[in-house]
């Protein structure tokens, strides 16, 4: 495996150069105004798979709603899910609360102070643990995330595949001696800022980077060769039908169960196309056949007589880590609030649906339905 080796003199020079730049140009972010482990933790969990500019208003609202670990531990789940709505990867919110409850119950409000001990908390992995430990408790450990992979792969010409789990330890061992022992938290945050500015994945600017003289990939004109990463498989396409039913009592919505993705969030009823198709069916069924199957199932299983029509237009699309949902919308208007004794849903006045915890796919379905109604009323 290829990797540059730095002398102790080079390491000391790099630390001074990086931190001098960070002191002048580091981003002013709300969670950096102190070193409170709660603030570091919540921000780092929110920043997983989410851009900084998107996170800032969510972080501020979350802290206003749950200003302490204790407040988060005792929060009602609907309030927690509503505060997280739109950030995606919703298991993060639940894990935050579970870890907060651990801290209150098992640790009596006292934070573990090392990266190793922090990983005993629900949802805290190696990166987040090292970020908290270095920033809040000054432990000299590198926080190895996507930015650190990219920055040090280029600086040191590390050609190990970062998609492989074992590679994290390799990077940890390579970066650990370089972390500034006096300012480990600032060092890690400087690397984050470097990775999001001069050393981005695309359109990087190594010629003007404050650490360009340490950058072996720039020296060798190989910046875009690093980091090495094999491609992930594409998310699996799953066709759905979204069932938009309105009555005088409101819109029909269901709460996702613990056996489903988006647990605890509310959506219009959803059914997969595969669930409508018999296992022995030789080829995919038509839209008309699927609508008939849905109507028959609702009549037989739920005792609900509903007639669906296609809403028309493009299907709503939502991508998750391993799945891409493609949701065709079917609409039904019923003249009275049907009895939901056998159906696991509720009639909610349309203007009140927005107050429920809603995933992004539900927001998209609502927007499409509202746009269709507006077009009809013109």
Cross-strand bridge partners of residue 326: 239, 317
- CA 351 vs. chain centroid, Å, equals 28
Among the residues of 66-145, which ranges form H helices? 69-73, 77-84, 91-105, 115-118, 126-137
- Provide DSSP, 250-311: EEEEEEPPTTSTTTT-EES-EEEHHHHS-TT-SSPPPHHHHHHHHHHHHHHHH------EE-
- Provide DSSP, 138-149: -------SHHHH
Q: Is 44 a catalytic residue?
A: yes
From residue 63, give the alpha-carbon distance in Å to each of 59, 232, 307: 6, 34, 45
Based on the number of CB atoms within 10 Å of its own CB, is 279 exposed (0-12), middle (13-18) or buried (19 or more)?
Answer: exposed
Give the span between the Cα atoms of 199 and 220, in whole angstroms. 15
The residue from 4, 25, 44, 77 that is catalytic is 44
Residues labelled as active-site residues: 44
């Amino acid at each position: 495996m290829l990797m540059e080796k730095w002398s102790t003199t080079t390491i000391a020079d790099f630390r001074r150069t990086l931190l001098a730049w960070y002191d002048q140009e580091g981003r002013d972010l709300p969670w950096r105004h102190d070193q409170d482990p709660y603030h570091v933790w919540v921000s780092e969990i929110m920043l997983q798979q989410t851009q900084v500019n998107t996170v800032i208003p969510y972080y501020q609202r979350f802290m206003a709603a749950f200003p302490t670990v204790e407040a988060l531990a005792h929060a009602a789940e609907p309030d927690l899910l509503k505060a997280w709505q739109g950030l995606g990867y919703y298991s993060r919110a639940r894990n935050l609360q579970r870890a907060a409850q651990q801290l209150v119950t098992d640790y009596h409000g006292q934070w573990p102070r090392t990266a190793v001990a922090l990983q005993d908390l629900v949802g805290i992995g190696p990166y987040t643990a090292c970020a908290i430990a270095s920033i809040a408790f000054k432990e000299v450990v590198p926080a190895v995330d996507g930015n650190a992979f990219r920055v040090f792969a280029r600086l040191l010409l590390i050609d190990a595949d970062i998609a492989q789990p074992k590679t994290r330890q390799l990077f940890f061992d390579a970066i650990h001696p370089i972390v500034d022992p006096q300012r480990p938290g600032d060092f890690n945050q400087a690397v984050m800022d470097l990775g999001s500015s001069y050393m981005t994945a695309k359109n990087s600017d190594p010629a003007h980077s404050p650490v360009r003289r340490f950058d072996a990939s720039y020296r060798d004109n190989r910046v875009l060769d690093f980091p090495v990463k094999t491609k992930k498989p594409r998310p699996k396409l799953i066709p759905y039908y979204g069932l938009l039913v309105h009555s005088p009592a409101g819109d029909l919505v269901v709460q996702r169960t613990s056996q489903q993705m988006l647990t605890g969030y509310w959506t219009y009823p959803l059914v997969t196309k595969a669930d409508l198709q018999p296992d022995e069916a030789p080829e995919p069924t038509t839209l008309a056949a699927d609508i008939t199957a849905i109507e028959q199932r609702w009549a037989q299983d739920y005792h609900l007589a509903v007639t669906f029509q296609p809403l028309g237009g493009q299907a709503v699309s939502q991508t998750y880590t391993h799945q891409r949902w493609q949701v065709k919308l079917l609409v039904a208007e019923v003249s009275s609030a049907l009895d939901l004794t056998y159906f696991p849903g509720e009639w909610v006045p349309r203007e009140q649906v927005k107050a429920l915890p809603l995933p992004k796919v539900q927001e998209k379905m609502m927007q499409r339905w509202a746009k269709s109604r507006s077009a009809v009323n013109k």
